């Protein structure tokens, strides 16, 4: 049912945990299956320097959370926003059709954390560039 990569990241997920002083936090969930993901970002110079996750859910939810954190670490915010659920699923070698929603949660979690960061930054200092970025998100 699951690929070897999905099982590997389910059994040994990377970037698990919380960043206490996170710059952005995104929390998303699927009420149908009960999966909940919380993504924490540490950002410096518009680049993700650290990312962690806490996920309550199935093997696919944990594996997609782990994979998406690996995919966005070190990327600029713009690059991270371009990561799609299809990219996550492909990086895992595929997901069963009934588990594709997990990759969508991973994409939405990263986007929610970036949006949180941009909103906080826009509120902290009303620089023109921050307001433009908030509008883009």
Identify the CATH number of the domain in which residue 113 sits.
3.90.1010.10
Total number of domains constituting the chain: 1
pTM comes to 0.86
User: Do the Cβ atoms of 36 and 55 come closer than 8 Å?
Assistant: yes
Backbone angles phi, psi at 75, to 5 degrees: -85, 160
Output the tens digit of pLDDT for each of the chain's 137 residues.
Answer: 899 999 999 999 999 999 999 999 999 998 777 899 999 999 999 999 999 999 999 999 999 999 999 999 999 999 999 999 999 999 999 999 999 999 999 999 999 999 999 999 886 654 444 434 434 33
Catalytic residue among 33, 58, 59, 119: 33
33 is catalytic: yes
Backbone angles phi, psi at 7, to 5 degrees: -65, -40
Alpha helices for 14-127 (secondary structure H): 59-72, 77-81, 85-91, 100-124
Helix (H) or strand (E) holding 128: helix 128-136
Phi and psi at residue 126, to the nearest 5°: -85, 50
Task: Indicate if 102 belongs to the active site.
Answer: yes
Range of the domain at 88: 4-136
Q: Extract long-range pairs of 129-134: CB within 8 Å, 24+ residues apart.
A: 133/77
Catalytic residue among 28, 71, 102, 112: 102
SS3 at position 27? strand
């Amino acid at each position: 049912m699951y690929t070897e990569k999905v099982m590997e990241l389910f059994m040994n997920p990377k970037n698990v945990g919380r960043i206490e002083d996170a710059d952005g936090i995104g929390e998303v969930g699927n009420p149908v299956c009960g999966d909940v993901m919380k993504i924490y970002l540490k950002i410096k110079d518009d680049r993700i320097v650290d990312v962690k996750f806490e996920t309550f859910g199935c093997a696919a939810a944990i594996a997609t959370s782990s994979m998406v954190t690996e995919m966005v670490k070190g990327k600029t915010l713009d690059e991270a926003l371009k990561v799609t659920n299809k990219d996550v699923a492909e990086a895992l070698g595929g997901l069963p059709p009934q588990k594709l929603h997990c990759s969508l949660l991973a994409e939405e979690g990263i986007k929610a954390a970036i949006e949180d960061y941009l909103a906080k930054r826009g509120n902290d200092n009303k620089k023109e560039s921050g307001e433009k970025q908030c509008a883009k998100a």
